[in-house]
C-alpha cells in the first residue's frame, strides 16, 4: 500500500502550479471553461471541513510508480487551503482506481491553531473514479489518522471524506520521441 500523507495545516495561501488558473482580477471576461475548473472537499471526523477551491492543473503521464506517472489533479491555494493534489499512478483511462494518494494542506485557523497532519494507517482506504476523459473525478478516503487534534494533542483522531473536481482541460505528457 502506498504511503500517503494527507497534510492538514487550517490560513496561509501557497500556490501550486498547474490545469487552469482562475483570474482573481476584475476582468469580467472570465471564460466558462475556467470557471468549470473547481474542486470541492468534504471531511468529517476529527476535522469537519467543507470547502470549494480552484483546480490548477490536470495532468496525465504514462502509468507507473514515479511521481509524474499516471493521473494527477493539483488544487490551487487560497486562504483556507494551501494546495494539494490527488495522484493515481496506475491511471490508464477513465475508470475506478483503488491505488491512489490524496494530499491536502489546509491552512492554520481557529479549529486547528497548531495545524494538523493526517497520515495513512493500515485501515486507510482511497478510491478514485475518473471520468469525462480525465476532466472529472471523485476521491473517497476513509480512516486517515490525525497527527494533531484540535487542541494540539498528539493523535487527534480519524478523518474520512471526499474530494470532487472538474477540469477545463487535461494536459498530456509528450509522447517519447524515437
This prediction's pTM: 0.74
pLDDT per residue over 68-110, tens digit each?
789 999 998 887 877 888 999 999 999 999 988 888 776 666 5
104, with CB counted inside 10 A (0-12, 13-18, 19+), is buried
CA–CA gap between residue 147 and residue 132 (Å, rounded): 36
Which residues in the chain show pLDDT less than 70? Answer: 1-36, 106-118, 148-155, 175-178
Cell numbers representing residue 117 in the block: 497532519
Domain definitions of the chain by residue range: 5-15+37-172
What was the pLDDT predicted at 18?
Answer: 33
CA–CA gap between residue 173 and residue 109 (Å, rounded): 37
CA–CA gap between residue 54 and residue 39 (Å, rounded): 6
CA–CA gap between residue 87 and residue 161 (Å, rounded): 16
Amino acid at each position: 500500500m502506498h504511503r500517503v500523507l494527507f497534510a492538514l495545516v487550517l490560513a496561509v495561501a501557497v500556490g501550486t502550479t498547474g490545469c487552469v488558473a482562475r483570474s482573481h482580477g476584475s476582468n469580467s471576461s472570465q471564460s466558462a471553461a475556467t470557471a468549470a475548473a473547481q474542486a470541492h472537499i468534504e471531511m468529517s471526523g476529527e476535522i469537519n471541513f467543507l470547502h470549494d477551491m480552484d483546480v490548477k492543473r490536470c495532468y496525465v503521464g504514462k502509468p507507473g510508480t514515479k511521481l509524474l506517472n499516471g493521473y494527477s489533479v493539483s488544487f490551487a491555494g487560497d486562504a483556507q487551503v494551501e494546495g494539494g493534489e490527488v495522484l493515481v499512478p496506475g491511471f490508464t483511462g477513465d475508470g475506478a482506481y483503488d491505488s491512489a494518494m490524496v494530499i491536502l494542506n489546509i491552512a492554520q485557523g481557529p479549529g486547528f491553531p497548531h495545524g494538523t497532519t493526517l497520515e495513512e494507517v493500515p485501515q486507510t482506504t482511497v478510491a478514485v473514479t475518473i471520468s469525462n476523459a480525465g476532466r472529472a473525478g471523485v476521491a473517497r478516503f476513509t480512516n486517515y489518522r490525525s497527527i494533531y487534534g484540535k487542541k494540539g494533542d498528539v493523535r487527534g483522531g480519524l478523518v474520512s471524506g471526499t474530494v470532487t473536481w472538474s477540469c477545463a482541460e487535461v494536459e498530456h505528457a509528450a509522447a517519447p520521441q524515437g
